[in-house]
């Protein structure tokens, strides 16, 4: 897949053993236009997230009760990208 074919990309991945999921991190590294990328990391603590320059990153705990607020943040991010 070439990221030039997309307006917005959302990657939801886990944080495993204090590291981002390897295949998600590799995919994110390959994206050339980081402004169209949102990376969401779920972890036990909800504090870990990718620190890659130019990538919007959200950290979330693996709790179902947090899902509505997280979904709203994703929707807002997507709406902003898709309106341009």
Domains identified in the chain, total number: 1
Name the burial class of residue 21, with classes exposed (0-12), middle (13-18) and buried (19+) by CB atoms within 10 angstroms of its CB: middle
**Reported confidence tier of residue 79, pLDDT bands at 50, 70, 90:** very high
User: Where in the sequence is the domain holding 7, given as residue range(s)?
Assistant: 3-83
Say whether pTM exceeds 0.75: no
Is 53's pLDDT higher than 60?
no
Is 75's pLDDT higher than 70?
yes
DSSP-based three-state secondary structure for 63: coil
Is 84's pLDDT higher than 90?
no
Write the pLDDT tens digit of every residue in 55-64: 566 666 666 7
């Amino acid at each position: 897949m070439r990221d030039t074919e997309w307006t917005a990309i959302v990657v939801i991945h886990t944080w495993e053993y204090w590291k981002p999921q390897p295949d998600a991190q590799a995919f994110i590294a390959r994206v050339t236009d980081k402004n169209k990328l949102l990376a969401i990391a779920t972890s036990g603590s909800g504090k870990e997230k990718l620190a890659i320059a130019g990538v919007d990153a959200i950290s979330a705990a693996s709790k179902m009760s947090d899902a509505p607020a997280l979904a709203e943040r994703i929707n807002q991010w997507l709406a902003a990208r898709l309106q341009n």
